[in-house]
Amino acid sequence: MARESMVGRLLVATPTLRDPNFERTVVLLVAHAAGGALGVVLNRATEMPVSEVLGGWGNLAGEPAVIFEGGPVEPEAAICLARARNGAQPAGFTRVAGPVGTVDLSRGPAAVSDDLDMIRVFAGYSGWGAGQLEAEIATGAWFVFDALPGDAFFQRPEELWSMVLRRQGGMLAAVAHFPPDPTLN
């Protein structure tokens, strides 16, 4: 049976997901196939400026222009999301959804700066083996939603989890107000 790719979709942690790596996170899936899935956490900004780590790439970084924690896997590896300008096909750009994709940082910013609106850099990533993500979704750990082009570059990342839930409407919007620790409610 063919599995539908979830590339470009958001995984939004449900309040029952208590793993500290993923509690109240929003993950953009950048790869998904029979062998597993890979994504980056969109709402965990660090205080480390992109320019201090990657020099000229910092000029393209959207606000906040810091490195984000992409997930617990290979924290020394960098994944760069970018938003391509209208109609542009930047070198080293792999489309994820609409104008958003990953860009190869080894090419250097000068090679792509005219074709990109902005970038966001992630240290590490979130990864799942074959069937693992689907099992987590089935047990209620994740909501799966369509991503909007601005989600990956939201300027107030600490508010992204509740914002994505609120825009779903109905009962899902109410989940955005779920207290971090319901026992203190």
Q: Distance between CA atoms of 115 and 99, rounded to whole angstroms?
A: 11
Domain count for the chain: 1
Domain membership flag for residue 117: yes
Provide the whole-model pTM: 0.94
pLDDT digits (tens, 9 = 90+) for 104-163: 999 899 999 999 999 999 999 999 999 999 999 999 999 999 999 899 999 999 999 999
* DSSP per position, 72-114: SEEEEEEEEEEEEPTT---TTEEEEETTEEEE-GGG-GGGTGG
Query: Could you tell me the CATH number of the domain that includes residue 152?
Result: 3.40.1740.10
Domain membership flag for residue 23: yes
pLDDT digits (tens, 9 = 90+) for 23-73: 999 999 999 999 999 999 999 999 999 999 999 999 999 999 999 999 999
Domain membership flag for residue 144: yes
Domain membership flag for residue 3: no
Q: Distance between CA atoms of 166 and 77, rounded to whole angstroms?
A: 32
Domain residue limits at 78 = 9-184
Domain membership flag for residue 4: no
Domain membership flag for residue 2: no
